Amino acid sequence: MPNETQSYDIVVLGAGTGGYGAAFRAGQLGLKVALVDDNPKGLGGTCLHVGCIPTKAMLGSADLLDRMKHSSEFGITADDVAPDPEAIAKRRDKIVSRLVKGVTSLTKKNKVDYILGRGRLEGPQQVRVATIDKDGKSTGEVILKAKDVILATGSRVKSLPGLVPDGERIVTSDDVLRSAHIPASIIVVGAGAVGTEFASYYADMGAEVTVLEYLPGLVPLEDGDIRKEMERAFKKRGIKVITSARFDPSAVKADESGVSVMVGPEGGEPSEVRAEQMLVATGRAANVEDVGLETTRAVVDRGVVVTDGQMRTADPHLYAVGDVAGGLWLAHVATHEGIAAVHAIAGEEAEEIDYVKMPRATYSRPQVASIGLTSEQCAERGLKTKVGKMPMMASGKAVIEGDTTGFVKVIADAETDELLGVHMIGHHVTELIAESSTAMLLEATAWEVGAAVHPHPTLSEAMGEAAMAVDGKSINF
């Protein structure tokens, strides 16, 4: 269909969580919407295909393996417990396939035209799409005219200058999620969410793991108490941790015998670290190139598209959501950015995106979940605070679960009692943070969270106890 032209209220370019979330909400509001994506495997973007979902599927297997190894503590005998990497990969891929089919089916439910192809902006209100079939073969071209366009082109893995992944010895998360291989040893470069999750996974699979982090602590964006607890937990598991790590990326050696690098803490003597593989987990780069931004007034600053609180760019009919717009680079954040953009386009009143009130989750063992300001950020802003803490070792449910690692920490304003931040580390805490998200949305106080009844025995009690501990009134600690 060469040069066919179609008109829409909204065209969404990119079908990751931010893109399809925006498209579905637009359809629900009765707008005529097209969703454009060039992945022949279907909707879902990085999160569903090579990110959140496959990673958590693997981590789910790792968590079960660890529990089975400790089953005797529960009075259950399990002999010859061992991982089957091929079966883990098969289950991972099956989960991804199932969810892709589910998300794709929602295009019809929400009356969204899903167009498979490579889209490019031609000004803020037109997208030219080189269409393809499910085998990736060209099928023609279509021009989509829109009243408004939402750019949701996502991001890609990036490496350090001079360190070039080869897919075999030096790998990225994309490589890992297409493979079933478990190396005997691995160096993980970067200790953010991606690095700590894969370090945790490989350690559970029996690999010898070394983590290199340039900054002074693991999960460096988290609260200082969380960083310290994570390092203690990793070292207890036998994971070697080098923080404030310094090495020359261009001097990394990779050959048939493995990977080697000279590394040491800042100001210290470097020593050689060797492993079968090196995983580069040093962040992502937004896909701002070759999407036609130069044909618009949108501004790219420090590698991302600049937007306002409703995700509008400098071009009034062009919006940007998800990783391409910076923010927190999290799938659930991208979804809410997409929804905010659509409501702005529809002329409906909606709160602007507030990244401080966005929950964050890391699925390593132990898990980390947080929202709001850290203690360090409160100090930087000159805020007077009061803090409550509940260790998981005082939680009856944590004792029952057989994992008492970690704590819940609540930070409140010393004068108003308003919640400023909640920081958790421990068993399944990623399932607990949603309460804090609701509380912060409703501008709740620590007293109100503590006064809310938390069922016993549950891990959620740790949140209520930490909130009460803000005023020194915890019942069980």
Set 49, 343, 454, 456: catalytic member: 456
Separation of alpha carbons 410 and 417, rounded Å: 11
Structure tokens at 227: 């960083």
Query: Nearest Cα to 14, choosing from 149, 184, 172?
Result: 149
Backbone angles phi, psi at 247, to 5 degrees: -160, 160
Q: How far is CA 409 from the centre of its chain?
A: 21
Q: Answer whether 319's CB lies under 8 Å from 313's CB.
A: yes
Separation of alpha carbons 431 and 411, rounded Å: 19
Separation of alpha carbons 138 and 133, rounded Å: 7
Instruction: Say whether 80 sits in a helix, a strand or coil.
Output: coil
Beta bridge partners of 6: 144
Instruction: Say whether 119 sits in a helix, a strand or coil.
Output: strand
Q: Answer whether 244's CB lies under 8 Å from 214's CB.
A: yes
Q: How many CB atoms neighbour CB 334 within 10 A?
A: 30
75 DSSP assignment: T
Sign (positive/negative) of CA torsion 325, 327, 328, 334? negative
Separation of alpha carbons 7 and 26, rounded Å: 15
Annotation marks residue 456 as catalytic: yes
Sign (positive/negative) of CA torsion 172, 207, 366, 55? positive
Query: Nearest Cα to 203, choosing from 365, 315, 316, 41?
Result: 365
Q: Answer whether 128's CB lies under 8 Å from 2's CB.
A: no
Known catalytic residues?
A: 456
